[in-house]
Amino acid sequence: MLELNKVYFTVSDSEGSGGVRNIIDGIDFTFDDGKFYVITGPNGSGKTTLAKLIMGINPLSSGDILFNGRNISTLSITERAKAGIAYSFQQPARFKGITFRDLLTVATGIEDESKLLEILGRVGICPLSFLDKEVDARLSGGEIKKIELATTIAANPKLAIYDEPDTGIDLWTIGPMVSLLKKELAENCTTTIVVSHNKAFLEAADVVMIIHSGKIVYNGSLEGAMPLLDDLSVCTYRDSCEGDRDAGCYR
């Protein structure tokens, strides 16, 4: 169980007025074990920031995060990883001289080739030829996202966070990717949090959460979320611009 108690992430105001702005604005929420959560909401609403607060990549400004009853608010990224949280980055790091095999070994402590192949079989979406590829700038956006997802699953986390896992992934892989996360959840009771706008993930969710201006404005079924999602999809600049007839507006 992951509990967020009055969680804030605050930055100083960009206009230099000395004021502050809450990127995450007092979120209280409990994630139950073995459920599939999809966090969605407009760009800049705080989805990735919230995910990074849970992993410890961003420091909490105030509030507490409890994971299985233990307060992890001040733990480092490393300690949270060891506690069973894994994170899949929206824009994965690229390394010169480090291969997919190396990352899998770091994630699992396993060097044995047959066991690594077993993991690849389990993940399913990465071909064997990836194993000795360097995770560098030569990989395509889709390839590196598959590798990112595989290292997250390989770590056997209790809580897996995926930040926009479908970015750069071809249409034919998104379905299998959703099934894979569902299968991992079913077999290992992995609590799964996906930040995504993709319909395939939203439809797979047990709970859809909508974040807007750093607050959770909805959590529940996708059906219940639809009216709000429709609302949020309307251009937020409409009031300040001339509307649809303004030829300069392509939003």
Stretch that binds another protein, among 5-13, 79-87, 120-128, 205-213 (CB under 8 A): 79-87
Site string for another protein, 169-208 (x = CB under 8 A): ----------------------------------------
Q: At what angle do helices 171-188 and 141-154 cross, to 10 degrees?
A: 0
- According to DSSP, the β-strands at 207-212 and 36-40 are parallel
How far apart (Å, rounded) are the C-alpha atoms in residues 107 and 86? Answer: 10
Site string for another protein, 37-76 (x = CB under 8 A): ------------------x-x------------------x
Closest CA to 104 of 125, 79, 135: 135
Cβ(38)–Cβ(202) under 8 Å? yes
Element containing residue 65 per DSSP (H, E): strand 62-67
Nearest approach, Cβ of residue 156 and another protein (Å): 11
The nearer residue to another protein, 79 or 242, going by C-beta atoms, is 79
Please pick, from the candidates 21, 82, 115, 138, the single residue that binds another protein as defined by CB under 8 A.
82
What is the dihedral angle through the alpha carbons of 16, 17, 18, 20, rounded to the nearest 10 degrees?
Answer: -90
Please pick, from the candidates 150, 155, 205, 209, the single residue that binds another protein as defined by CB under 8 A.
155
The nearer residue to another protein, 65 or 208, going by C-beta atoms, is 65
**199: Cβ contacts below 8 Å, ≥ 6 apart:** none
Three-state DSSP at 72 gives: coil
Stretch that binds another protein, among 23-31, 103-111, 192-200, 227-235 (CB under 8 A): 103-111
Stretch that binds another protein, among 3-11, 61-69, 86-94, 198-206 (CB under 8 A): 86-94
Neighbours of 32 (CB within 10 A): 11
Binding interface with another protein (CB under 8 A): 55, 57, 76-78, 81-82, 86-87, 89, 91-98, 102-103, 106-107, 151, 155
